[in-house]
Chains A and B, each alone.
Chain A
Amino acid sequence: MSINRRQISRRSILAGAAALGLTSTLAACGGSDDDSGDSDSGPVKLTYWAWAPNMEKVAAIWNKKNPDITVTVSKQASGGEIVSKLITAKKAGNAPDLIQVEYQSLPTLVSNDVLADITKYAGDTKSNFAEGLWGMVTLGTDALYAIPQDAGPLMFYYREDLFKKHGLTVPKTWTEFAETARAAKKAVPDAYLTTFSANDPGLFAGLSQQAGAKWWTVDSAGKWTVGIDDAGTKQVAEFWGGLVQEGVIDNQPMYTPAWNNALNKGTHLAWVSAVWAPGVLVSSAPDTKGKWRMAPLPQWKSGENVTGSWGGSSTGVSTDSKHAEAAAKFATWLNTDPEALAALVKEVAIYPAATKGQSGSVLTTPEFFSNQSDFYTTAGEIAATTATAAWGPNVNTAYTTFQDAFGKATKAKKESQFDSALATMQSKTFADMKKQGFEVTEA
């Protein structure tokens, strides 16, 4: 008996030690990788961290044409995780040469000195992109931190067949959108026009950009202003909160089996999404091929023509790269060369950020939208109206707070809670920046 007990106590100590070891390795991981063994002779070797699928196929085209600069793609996770990983890698001094960066992560990475200023290697690359996109990669400064790769302008997707069947009109303004939502609920009681997902801060950010929101801004004196609960964003939050409370818009998160099922069965009649939506619908709602149609996003004022963006990424060069010039050369080629753009569209299935990639023969109508032959012509027109997003150095905090606070609000189905959720998002984001030491004020 006593021997047994002694064993137990020793085991519990070991388990405790293991617990401590585990948590501390979590905090300390990513410390020591071997340095990339660069030799002065032979071809320049570049590593490229990207999460988009099939990126290595596009890099292969480059490698074939440029034997002196070899690019190796290393597949990574997206979102907040690659950002943390990059910051850790930078601390260890072994960040990769090239990085795929979402627009909203650029300020965070620049703030952590992960991204190099590549202005001197860029030449006249600027002419390839729309003004709004270029603003996102310069952060409004004279520096250039990345080359835009893909864009995600917001659009309105709807089930053409069901809209016709129930006599619903395609909304041109958000007021009409609310009416359509009510009419849809009346026509099909167990269906919704769409859902408000508290798991997708990116969509909420895009909708707010359309309403003129500027969540983070920098003034000339070098001071940040956090304005997440500004008039535009408030309008968006209250609008969706009101519809959820009314019960005409669903409150379930997107990208779940239940959501896929709703799209496939037709109990969601529409989806506010970005230009990449066809790729999602193919796998989420395979039975609805050819039944969808895309239209411009509803507007706040009739006659206006603005959209926001959801997603999109760029290619940056890290400050650890010993071959910044070669890396910048690849980044420019990847995102502006016609052959590369064609490969990006075909293999990686992105919507190119470069203006010349958005028109012409590169983009062929998605098979899923075979009924809408002018899909990319319309998309190009919408993309040209994209509002510039204003991102800051702690988007992660704002996004996590959005998920937690709006998660509660959508669950409760209370418009007033949408308002307070927005206030929570503002105060937490501001407090976090203040705590880190940024010069910051509230709008």
Chain B
Amino acid sequence: MTSAPLKGSDLIEAGPLADGTGTAQSVRPSRPRRRGRSAPYWFLVPTLTLFAAFTVVPIGYAIWLSLHRVQVKGIGLGKGARSQVWNGIGNYTDVLNDSEFGHSVLRAFGYGLIVIPTMLGLALLFALMLDTPKARSAPFARLMIFLPYAVPGIIAALMWGFLYLPDVSPFYYLLNKFGLPQPDLFDGGNLYLSFANIAVWGGTGFNMIVIYTALRAIPPDIYEAARIDGASNLNIALKIKIPIVMPSLVLTFFFSVIATLQVFTEPMTLKPLTNGLPSSWSPLMAIYDKAFLQSDIYGASATAVVLALATFVLSFTLLRISDRYTREDRA
């Protein structure tokens, strides 16, 4: 308290004392400072321009569209038959009351409940196995596990689709040969397993690499210390490796949740093969159907905004939960 005014008075005294030479000294540092202050913004301009042009403006346009609808007059043919009118939150209440969209979200969750634990469990297991000192031909195994990720989603879906179809599938041929029961993989609950299988097949490798990279970053002296304390490989995996790679697991979990809500390629590609797949099986399919088959860009925009918001809310909720979990862990 007492030192502050003293310092202040010091400065005031120094001001007039400095005079001629003092001004030169005080101006010189201030100029670069001013220039320095604006420089970061100039560096930001390209990013901000692109961000505005390709993210902010499209989002704004989608929101604007989602608040409008088309109004047809009379018979609705020819010029001037259609006009775009304000619809307020009409499209949003439609989306929230649309049982088909609700079902598509539930289906995505059901699909995620199968895919995420299986895929991340396998990815973690593979990563840990590759990381054990005794693992043989690890680089080759790593490549083989990762390889399906390099197959484009559509190709993977088509390939599995052929394997699922009784008339062209070699599996069914064998089942038939041995007189075993032949399940309908496009029916009811099996459908979820069929899609989940494609996703797990394609996604495990990627998640495995993320976890494996984190495992490789652990300094080996920790293991040495653990071994001296008498820890087995299993103990090291469970008590040292998994807790340390937890952030990577959380990361892959988030990626998987978002990918689940956006599941599109597999059901879309397999839809023509079966009667059992409605056109709005997943949330993105419902949006695609509205926008590109029904030509209802207004309803599609509203649905897209709702899905994006839901993804946000879900991501942040999960982040909160994982935050609390790791904090407790630390304490």
Chain B residues with CB under 8 A of A141: 77
Within 8 A of A (CB), among B293-331: 293-295, 297, 300-301, 304-305, 307-308, 311-312, 315, 319, 323, 326, 330
Instruction: Determine if A1 and B330 form an interchain contact, defined as CB atoms under 8 angstroms apart.
Output: yes
B54, closest chain A residue (CB): A21
Instruction: Determine if A23 and B187 form an interchain contact, defined as CB atoms under 8 angstroms apart.
Output: no
Question: Could you give, for residues 379-422 of chain A, a 1 whenever the CB lies within 8 Å of some chain B CB and a 0 otherwise?
Answer: 00000000000000110110010011011101100000000000
Instruction: Determine if A8 and B250 form an interchain contact, defined as CB atoms under 8 angstroms apart.
Output: yes
Chain A residues with CB under 8 A of B280: 404
Given A15-B254, A23-B62, A257-B167: A407 in contact with B278 (beta carbons within 8 A): yes
Contact of B291 among A26, A198, A255, A406 (CB under 8 A): A26
Residue B275 is within 8 A (CB to CB) of chain A in the complex: yes
Residue A107 is within 8 A (CB to CB) of chain B in the complex: yes
Chain B proximity of A223: nearest CB distance (Å): 7
Residue A224 is within 8 A (CB to CB) of chain B in the complex: yes
Chain A residues with CB under 8 A of B274: 253, 256, 407
Residue A378 is within 8 A (CB to CB) of chain B in the complex: no
Pick from B29-37, B78-86, B108-116, B124-132 the stretch touching chain A: B78-86
Instruction: Determine if B59 and A26 form an interchain contact, defined as CB atoms under 8 angstroms apart.
Output: no
Chain A residues with CB under 8 A of B165: 256-258
Pick from A78-86, A119-127, A331-339 the stretch touching chain B: A78-86
Instruction: Determine if A4 and B247 form an interchain contact, defined as CB atoms under 8 angstroms apart.
Output: yes
Q: How far is the CA of A406 from the CA of B284 in the complex (A)?
A: 22
Contact of A439 among B74, B166, B250 (CB under 8 A): B74
Q: How far is the CA of A16 from the CA of B318 in the complex (A)?
A: 13
Instruction: Determine if A438 and B326 form an interchain contact, defined as CB atoms under 8 angstroms apart.
Output: no
Contact of A253 among B62, B74, B275 (CB under 8 A): B275
Chain B proximity of A6: nearest CB distance (Å): 10
Given A16-B315, A255-B272, A437-B72: A26 in contact with B167 (beta carbons within 8 A): no
Given A5-B323, A12-B319: A437 in contact with B71 (beta carbons within 8 A): yes
Residue B175 is within 8 A (CB to CB) of chain A in the complex: no
Residue A231 is within 8 A (CB to CB) of chain B in the complex: no
Chain A proximity of B319: nearest CB distance (Å): 6
Chain B residues with CB under 8 A of A139: 77
Chain B residues with CB under 8 A of A261: 167-168
Q: How far is the CA of A139 from the CA of B297 in the complex (A)?
A: 26
Chain B proximity of A199: nearest CB distance (Å): 6
Q: How far is the CA of A408 from the CA of B275 in the complex (A)?
A: 7
B77, closest chain A residue (CB): A110
Report, as a range, how many residues of chain A touch the other chain. 35 or more
Chain A residues with CB under 8 A of B278: 403-404, 407-408
Given A81-B292, A257-B162, A403-B279: A19 in contact with B311 (beta carbons within 8 A): yes
Given A8-B251, A16-B311, A108-B295: A407 in contact with B81 (beta carbons within 8 A): no
Residue A188 is within 8 A (CB to CB) of chain B in the complex: no
Instruction: Determine if A26 and B304 form an interchain contact, defined as CB atoms under 8 angstroms apart.
Output: yes
Q: Which secondary structure dominates chain B's binding surface?
A: helix
Instruction: Determine if A12 and B315 form an interchain contact, defined as CB atoms under 8 angstroms apart.
Output: yes
Chain B residues with CB under 8 A of A223: 75
Chain A proximity of B68: nearest CB distance (Å): 12
Instruction: Determine if A404 and B72 form an interchain contact, defined as CB atoms under 8 angstroms apart.
Output: no
Residue B276 is within 8 A (CB to CB) of chain A in the complex: yes
Chain A proximity of B96: nearest CB distance (Å): 16
Residue B65 is within 8 A (CB to CB) of chain A in the complex: yes
Contact of B76 among A5, A22, A25, A111 (CB under 8 A): A111
Instruction: Determine if A411 and B187 form an interchain contact, defined as CB atoms under 8 angstroms apart.
Output: yes
Q: How far is the CA of A410 from the CA of B274 in the complex (A)?
A: 10
Instruction: Determine if B254 and A23 form an interchain contact, defined as CB atoms under 8 angstroms apart.
Output: no
Chain B residues with CB under 8 A of A128: none
Chain B proximity of A32: nearest CB distance (Å): 11
B79, closest chain A residue (CB): A113
Chain B proximity of A111: nearest CB distance (Å): 5
Given A5-B326, A16-B311: A438 in contact with B75 (beta carbons within 8 A): yes
Instruction: Determine if A27 and B254 form an interchain contact, defined as CB atoms under 8 angstroms apart.
Output: no
Instruction: Determine if B254 and A400 form an interchain contact, defined as CB atoms under 8 angstroms apart.
Output: no
Instruction: Determine if A396 and B187 form an interchain contact, defined as CB atoms under 8 angstroms apart.
Output: no
Residue A427 is within 8 A (CB to CB) of chain B in the complex: no
Chain A residues with CB under 8 A of B198: none
Instruction: Determine if B308 and A19 form an interchain contact, defined as CB atoms under 8 angstroms apart.
Output: yes
Chain A residues with CB under 8 A of B71: 436-437
Q: How far is the CA of A319 from the CA of B162 in the complex (A)?
A: 44
Within 8 A of A (CB), among B155-190: 162, 165-168, 187
Residue A59 is within 8 A (CB to CB) of chain B in the complex: no
Given A256-B165, A404-B278: A110 in contact with B291 (beta carbons within 8 A): no
Instruction: Determine if A20 and B308 form an interchain contact, defined as CB atoms under 8 angstroms apart.
Output: yes
Question: Could you give, for residues 38-71 of chain B, a 1 whenever the CB lies within 8 Å of some chain A CB and a 0 otherwise?
Answer: 0000000000000000110011011101000011
Chain B proximity of A204: nearest CB distance (Å): 13
Q: How far is the CA of A26 from the CA of B288 in the complex (A)?
A: 8
Instruction: Determine if A257 and B82 form an interchain contact, defined as CB atoms under 8 angstroms apart.
Output: no
A22, closest chain B residue (CB): B262
Q: How far is the CA of A5 from the CA of B318 in the complex (A)?
A: 13
Given A411-B275, A439-B74: A21 in contact with B292 (beta carbons within 8 A): no
Chain B residues with CB under 8 A of A345: none
Instruction: Determine if A15 and B187 form an interchain contact, defined as CB atoms under 8 angstroms apart.
Output: no
Residue B209 is within 8 A (CB to CB) of chain A in the complex: no
Instruction: Determine if B295 and A83 form an interchain contact, defined as CB atoms under 8 angstroms apart.
Output: yes
Q: How far is the CA of A262 from the CA of B168 in the complex (A)?
A: 10
Residue A361 is within 8 A (CB to CB) of chain B in the complex: no
Contact of A396 among B80, B162, B294, B304 (CB under 8 A): B294
Q: How far is the CA of A199 from the CA of B82 in the complex (A)?
A: 31
Given A5-B247, A8-B247, A111-B77: A80 in contact with B292 (beta carbons within 8 A): yes
Residue A11 is within 8 A (CB to CB) of chain B in the complex: yes
Chain A proximity of B255: nearest CB distance (Å): 7
Chain A residues with CB under 8 A of B312: 16, 20
Chain A residues with CB under 8 A of B81: 111, 113
B330, closest chain A residue (CB): A1
Instruction: Determine if B82 and A111 form an interchain contact, defined as CB atoms under 8 angstroms apart.
Output: yes
Chain B residues with CB under 8 A of A28: 58, 61-62, 65, 301
Instruction: Determine if A258 and B168 form an interchain contact, defined as CB atoms under 8 angstroms apart.
Output: yes
Within 8 A of A (CB), among B246-273: 247, 250-251, 254-255, 258, 261-262, 272-273
* Complex A-B: 26 CB contacts under 8 Å: A1-B330, A8-B250, A11-B254, A12-B315, A19-B308, A20-B55, A23-B287, A24-B58, A24-B308, A26-B304, A80-B295, A81-B292, A84-B295, A113-B79, A113-B80, A113-B81, A117-B78, A139-B77, A141-B77, A224-B75, A251-B275, A257-B165, A258-B166, A258-B167, A437-B72, A438-B72
Besides A8-B254, A253-B273, A393-B76, 16 other A-B contacts (C-beta < 8 A): A5-B247, A20-B311, A23-B287, A24-B63, A27-B61, A80-B295, A81-B293, A84-B292, A251-B275, A257-B165, A257-B168, A258-B273, A407-B277, A407-B278, A408-B275, A408-B278
